[in-house]
Structure 1
Amino acid sequence: MSAPRRLVAVITAGLLAVSLTACATSERDAGGAAGGTMVFGAAGAPKNFDPIFNDDGESFRPARQMYDTLITYKAGTTELEPGLATSWTSTPDGKQWTFALRPGVKFHDGTDFNAAAVCANFDRWFTMKGAAAQSQMIYYGDVFEGFAKNEGDASGSPVYKNCQARDANTAVLNLNKFKGAFPAAFGLTSLSISSPTALKQYNADAVTQSGDSFTYPAYANEHPTGTGPFRFESFDKANGTITLARNDQYWGEKAKLDKLIFKIIPDENARKQELAAGTIDGYDLPSPADYGTLKDAGNQVLVRKPFSLLYVGINPKNNPALKDLRVRQAIAYAINRDALVKTKMPEGTQVATQFMPDTVAGYAPDVTTYPYDPNKAKQLLAQAGQQNLTLNFYYPTEVTRPYMPNPADLFAAMSADLAAVGIKINPVARPWNGGYKDDVQKAGKQDLHMLGWTGDYNDAGNFVGTFFGRPKAEFGQNDPAMYAELAKADSIPDPAGHTAAYQQANRDIMAKFLPAVPILTTGPAVVVKGNIQGLVPSPLTDERFLTVSKGEQQ
């Protein structure tokens, strides 16, 4: 159980009710924008507000409004553009990156953003102490692979070497080896730049663990301090609302809204009802079946380009039968992915043949595939002597994700497919941020589970490297050959060689290792009322609200 946390309570219940339904105007010097408050329906609660300790979209959504990264992504695309760095260069071997930083930028606490602050953040991540804290730094582990001193399950050799503040506006990052993720990974929300003063003042690194639960410090819960266009005002857990206020000292174009409220509504149907009632102005992940109805009611359904993947993970740790490749192949043949795509997902969704969309360099068109074939699945189970196999299949509740708009429906369909080939399924439902992710990703309690990924940047390593580049409790087995193959692909600076190596890795993952079953790739939608302008749907689900304005509802 998490320790009690002192939450900032800035808005009273009466004021909240007004803010959720009304659009106030204000007199301000922000380019003549209309101001007001937008309320957006979020599909789940954030874990906390310190980006380095997060790896899910519902935590990243508010963080992206409060923080900036060195490099960012052009709205609506995966293309890179300047963020806190106006330009960046690397040495030919990719081991040194030099960033020219924006002058005059301030953190929300009034302190200066400069090269020393950049280095303080990278050094903080590298020298993070404690197994609990390191275990929560999922993206850091995937990108930088190791710490100054690895603790707990961390075991990789660090990519990061050091950071030098050449002058106030020049930061130089030195790496121990080339990493194919860069420069794109410098735009990861997890690698957002925090105020070093606030990090120290609010004891930002004090993550503790009790059993499978984690408790985060005051910085992560009450005092997130970045340079972004919105600043943190409050998180009212009782009402499930996160309130952000415009940062009038923002270095770039000022946000057009006075306030931005994220209202946590895990149930998709409830989000739809609140939009119709006018208590929210938009929400993420509408049901594909509702697109037409939402449009007919005067709303805008903004469909993202496909960049998300759903998979069924396989964990042999608790059930030795799953170590047999034939059993894993049987599971793949048993699932009717075509039916899932046609009946449960929006138009444009595709059956996944491997663990990345076909738009990513490294996608291999000639991998081993597992078309729906229940008879083949039964034959493989018989050959493996597993005709009476029983599996604990975990699925999440209280959440909608881009790659699984209704987890319960998808689980029901896939578990029925598995049962039809003779696999008995024990369903285990757990709340997304109330046990599911920790059970699956930290403790590895499951035999099978549903999970997925929305790509952060356009590189194969962000998909297969993130999933299978190192040992993880989620997949419950050690495959040194697979890790070595992915590491080799990631280490090749030549773009053509880089792509070819990842294509071969994809072939081997699907034919030799099969640590999971790729299910589908999709591009989910976001819906907003007709009077909301300026929200650009992102294939990375990296929507920024500083460009959003709210007019009169027709």
Structure 2
Amino acid sequence: MRARRWGTAVTAGLLALTMAACATSERGDADGAAGGTFVFGAAGAPKNFDPIFNDDGESFRPARQMFDTLITYKQGSTELEPGLATAWESSPDGKTWTFTLREGVTFHDGTAFDAAAVCANFDRWFRMKGAAAQSQMIYYGDVFGGFEQNEGDAAGDPIYRSCAAENPTTAVLSLNAFKGAFPAAFGLTSLSISSPAALEQYDADTVTQSGDSFTYPAYATEHPTGTGPFRFEGFDKANGTITLVRNDDYWGEKATLDRLIFKIIPDENARKQELAAGTIDGYDFPSPADYGTLKEQGNQVLIRDPFSILYLGINTKNNPALADVRVRRAIAHAIDRESLVRTKMPEGSAVAKEFVPPTVAGYADDVTEYPYDPERAKQLLAEAGAQNLTLNFYYPTEVTRPYMPNPADLFSAMSANLQAVGITVNPVARPWNGGYKDDVQKAGKHDLHMLGWTGDYNDAGNFVGTFFGREKAEFGPQDPAMFDVLAKADAIPDPAGHAAAYEQANRDIMAKFLPAVPILTTGPAIVVKDDVQGLVPSPLTDERFLTVTKN
């Protein structure tokens, strides 16, 4: 499991159209004459501002405003649309990708964006080594497998081979193998395109490491240089504010705001109070319990379309009883997921039938289901000779995740369900960053645990491959047959065949393997004041602020 994101329906499309229309009418002209400053309450400080070295939402949020990717995601959806590339195509085997690039685009330092710049970025990522590679291996490693020179924890056969600038507007990417992440992964914020001149000037790859900590160079901390609608002005650490200003030379629709400020406010109650006081204009992930109050105060609570999964993980390595699929099926039947969604989750949540949200290509509507059935659970436990089962059930504290707004409440409900069918539950609470991730992700001390995933892009492999792939499986059945099913699905370049193979993989996972229990899918909210227009909520939490206006 990657450590990061523990990081489309009609509704989103209609909302996008409505808000875009409002933004257009407020804007008046294409040059962003409305102006003004928008202040967003951030839950934490960014690690730095170089996208390749980041893996968390608070770092990605400002980066998305300063940088562009070759392909991007249409506002309010997971659909792909042109970014710095106006068109892209692959060879039949999926190993060669040709990008037709926009003309007349410049980086914030005034240097030209072209195919040579694209290749310089891909080569940079591939050739990183030492601390730089260790620091950026999360997203890059997931997508591209390995580096030119693997060191330390960086391992795997490289997917990337080379990049050629055939002419200023044509970049050709050569891969050693097809991967199902493409082309959607070309829109990942980590794979944003930086100015090669700025990378060189500010020594971008000189990263030092001390234990688990990294120190980043001036490019990442003071001089991030992309092509996006906002430019970096500064990070006032004493006041906890990041200031971006409009890029008047932006290649696309100009931002309407003069300034975009991210004010770091770690405490959620403090963010709520500052919104009420008018010192900020919005913040992310409001508590579901606050939706009503926020609306009554005249704010807009914008709920994203569901694109995440909460699951109950089952560790078959420690407890032999859990290696019996009948026991895992009993656990699935014991959980009253309908009640969880109805009583513990915000509006828009739904029971998950499988480990992929319904909007993802590869979702299968006809998987084996495990409805709430305590008597069937007891029968399966008896058949497996596991009537006296005791399980160490881990749950995290000091954390709120989009798919897990109150971990203690969710644990209590599921624990009660399990005890009702005769399973003894030993509760083990650990702070999210003070033992939980280490015990679950690294040490595997648990029998059961709660975890989830918010998708990065629309591909089933980004969910089930992350949960149960050969290279990433940490707690489920170590079943070579399951690994093979997923690997074969991911290797099919034809989109229709790729989706069909993942549909079958999802059927097999639920019917044959059941390595965990899918619990629910949900879409978190983002809240803004009533005078804010043009912010389109993204199921990927990929909001762009260039369309935002204030009345």
Question: Which interval holds the TM-score relative to the shorter structure?
Answer: 0.7 to 0.9
Looking at structure 2, the residues matched to 283 and 246 of structure 1 have their Cα atoms a distance apart, in angstroms, of 20
| Counterpart in the other structure of 1:499 | 499
Aligned partner letter, 1:214: S
Spell out, residue by residue over 1:514-543, the C-alpha distance to the aligned partner (whole angstroms, 9 max, x if none): 333211112222111111111111122211
Mapping of 1:412-491 within 5 angstroms? Answer: 412-420=412-420, 421-431=422-432, 440-441=440-441, 446-472=446-472, 474-475=474-475, 478-491=478-491
| Counterpart in the other structure of 1:184 | 184
Aligned partner letter, 2:76: G
Spell out, residue by residue over 1:271-311, the C-alpha distance to the aligned partner (whole angstroms, 9 max, x if none): 32321121221122223343333223222222222222222
Q: Tell me if structure 1 keeps the 8 A contact 2:477–2:513.
A: no
Deviates more, 1:504-513 or 1:217-226: 217-226
Mapping of 1:61-100 within 5 angstroms? Answer: 61-100=61-100
Q: Tell me if structure 1 keeps the 8 A contact 2:66–2:230.
A: yes
Aligned partner letter, 2:209: T
Are the structure 2 counterparts of residues 251 and 448 from structure 1 closer, same or farther at C-alpha, using a change threshold of 3 Å? farther
Q: What displacement does 1:548 show?
A: 0.7
Looking at structure 2, the residues matched to 305 and 35 of structure 1 have their Cα atoms a distance apart, in angstroms, of 30
Are the structure 2 counterparts of residues 221 and 79 from structure 1 closer, same or farther at C-alpha, using a change threshold of 3 Å? same
Looking at structure 1, the residues matched to 264 and 368 of structure 2 have their Cα atoms a distance apart, in angstroms, of 41
SS across alignment from 2:371: coil
| Counterpart in the other structure of 1:33 | 33
Mapping of 1:50-65 within 5 angstroms? Answer: 50-65=50-65
| Counterpart in the other structure of 1:525 | 525
Kindly indicate whether residue 124 of structure 2 is the aligned counterpart of residue 121 of structure 1. no
Spell out, residue by residue over 1:197-224, the C-alpha distance to the aligned partner (whole angstroms, 9 max, x if none): 44343343625362xx332412444443
Are the structure 2 counterparts of residues 154 and 300 from structure 1 closer, same or farther at C-alpha, using a change threshold of 3 Å? same
SS across alignment from 1:368: coil
Q: Tell me if structure 2 keeps the 8 A contact 1:132–1:214.
A: no
Looking at structure 2, the residues matched to 35 and 438 of structure 1 have their Cα atoms a distance apart, in angstroms, of 46
| Counterpart in the other structure of 1:215 | 214
Aligned partner letter, 1:501: A
Kindly indicate whether residue 251 of structure 2 is the aligned counterpart of residue 251 of structure 1. yes
Looking at structure 2, the residues matched to 157 and 321 of structure 1 have their Cα atoms a distance apart, in angstroms, of 35
Are the structure 2 counterparts of residues 202 and 387 from structure 1 closer, same or farther at C-alpha, using a change threshold of 3 Å? farther
Deviates more, 1:352-361 or 1:218-227: 218-227
Aligned partner letter, 1:402: P
| Counterpart in the other structure of 1:357 | 357
TM-score (norm 2): 0.84
SS across alignment from 1:62: helix
Looking at structure 2, the residues matched to 431 and 237 of structure 1 have their Cα atoms a distance apart, in angstroms, of 25
Mapping of 1:285-296 within 5 angstroms? Answer: 285-296=285-296
Q: What displacement does 1:73 show?
A: 1.3
Looking at structure 1, the residues matched to 435 and 91 of structure 2 have their Cα atoms a distance apart, in angstroms, of 44
Looking at structure 1, the residues matched to 333 and 360 of structure 2 have their Cα atoms a distance apart, in angstroms, of 25
Are the structure 2 counterparts of residues 239 and 112 from structure 1 closer, same or farther at C-alpha, using a change threshold of 3 Å? same
Deviates more, 1:499-508 or 1:247-256: 247-256
Aligned partner letter, 2:102: R
TM-score (norm 1): 0.84
Q: Tell me if structure 2 keeps the 8 A contact 1:49–1:224.
A: yes
Deviates more, 1:510-519 or 1:197-206: 197-206
Looking at structure 2, the residues matched to 45 and 323 of structure 1 have their Cα atoms a distance apart, in angstroms, of 42
Q: Tell me if structure 1 keeps the 8 A contact 2:115–2:169.
A: yes
Q: Which ranges of structure 2 fall in alignment gaps of 5 or more residues?
A: 1-28
Deviates more, 1:282-291 or 1:229-238: 229-238
Spell out, residue by residue over 1:216-261, the C-alpha distance to the aligned partner (whole angstroms, 9 max, x if none): 4124444433222223344455554433333333222222222222
Looking at structure 2, the residues matched to 69 and 244 of structure 1 have their Cα atoms a distance apart, in angstroms, of 18
Q: Tell me if structure 2 keeps the 8 A contact 1:378–1:422.
A: no
Looking at structure 1, the residues matched to 418 and 232 of structure 2 have their Cα atoms a distance apart, in angstroms, of 46
| Counterpart in the other structure of 2:17 | none
Aligned partner letter, 1:225: T
SS across alignment from 1:393: strand
Are the structure 2 counterparts of residues 475 and 294 from structure 1 closer, same or farther at C-alpha, using a change threshold of 3 Å? same
Spell out, residue by residue over 1:382-414, the C-alpha distance to the aligned partner (whole angstroms, 9 max, x if none): 63547352425142524x433223334333433
Deviates more, 1:436-445 or 1:364-373: 436-445
Are the structure 2 counterparts of residues 179 and 32 from structure 1 closer, same or farther at C-alpha, using a change threshold of 3 Å? closer
Are the structure 2 counterparts of residues 253 and 457 from structure 1 closer, same or farther at C-alpha, using a change threshold of 3 Å? same
SS across alignment from 1:506: helix
Q: Which ranges of structure 1 fall in alignment gaps of 5 or more residues?
A: 1-28
Aligned partner letter, 2:481: A
Are the structure 2 counterparts of residues 458 and 437 from structure 1 closer, same or farther at C-alpha, using a change threshold of 3 Å? same
Q: Tell me if structure 1 keeps the 8 A contact 2:229–2:250.
A: yes
Mapping of 1:276-291 within 5 angstroms? Answer: 276-291=276-291
SS across alignment from 1:332: helix
Deviates more, 1:266-275 or 1:169-178: 266-275
Q: Tell me if structure 1 keeps the 8 A contact 2:132–2:205.
A: no
Looking at structure 1, the residues matched to 100 and 297 of structure 2 have their Cα atoms a distance apart, in angstroms, of 48
| Counterpart in the other structure of 1:304 | 304
Looking at structure 2, the residues matched to 437 and 258 of structure 1 have their Cα atoms a distance apart, in angstroms, of 40
Q: What displacement does 1:176 show?
A: 1.9
SS across alignment from 1:34: coil
Aligned partner letter, 1:528: V
Identity %: 76
Q: Tell me if structure 2 keeps the 8 A contact 1:394–1:446.
A: no
CA RMSD of aligned residues (A): 3.0
Looking at structure 1, the residues matched to 544 and 473 of structure 2 have their Cα atoms a distance apart, in angstroms, of 33
Aligned partner letter, 1:358: P
Aligned partner letter, 1:116: A
Looking at structure 1, the residues matched to 369 and 180 of structure 2 have their Cα atoms a distance apart, in angstroms, of 27
Q: Tell me if structure 2 keeps the 8 A contact 1:131–1:152.
A: no
Q: What displacement does 1:350 show?
A: 1.0
Deviates more, 1:514-523 or 1:350-359: 514-523
SS across alignment from 1:148: coil
Looking at structure 2, the residues matched to 363 and 524 of structure 1 have their Cα atoms a distance apart, in angstroms, of 21
Aligned partner letter, 1:547: T
Are the structure 2 counterparts of residues 536 and 419 from structure 1 closer, same or farther at C-alpha, using a change threshold of 3 Å? same
Deviates more, 1:277-286 or 1:413-422: 413-422
Aligned partner letter, 1:82: P
Q: What displacement does 1:547 show?
A: 1.0
Are the structure 2 counterparts of residues 492 and 70 from structure 1 closer, same or farther at C-alpha, using a change threshold of 3 Å? same
Looking at structure 2, the residues matched to 361 and 347 of structure 1 have their Cα atoms a distance apart, in angstroms, of 24
Are the structure 2 counterparts of residues 71 and 426 from structure 1 closer, same or farther at C-alpha, using a change threshold of 3 Å? same
Deviates more, 1:482-491 or 1:146-155: 146-155
Deviates more, 1:381-390 or 1:296-305: 381-390
Are the structure 2 counterparts of residues 485 and 54 from structure 1 closer, same or farther at C-alpha, using a change threshold of 3 Å? farther
Are the structure 2 counterparts of residues 471 and 91 from structure 1 closer, same or farther at C-alpha, using a change threshold of 3 Å? closer
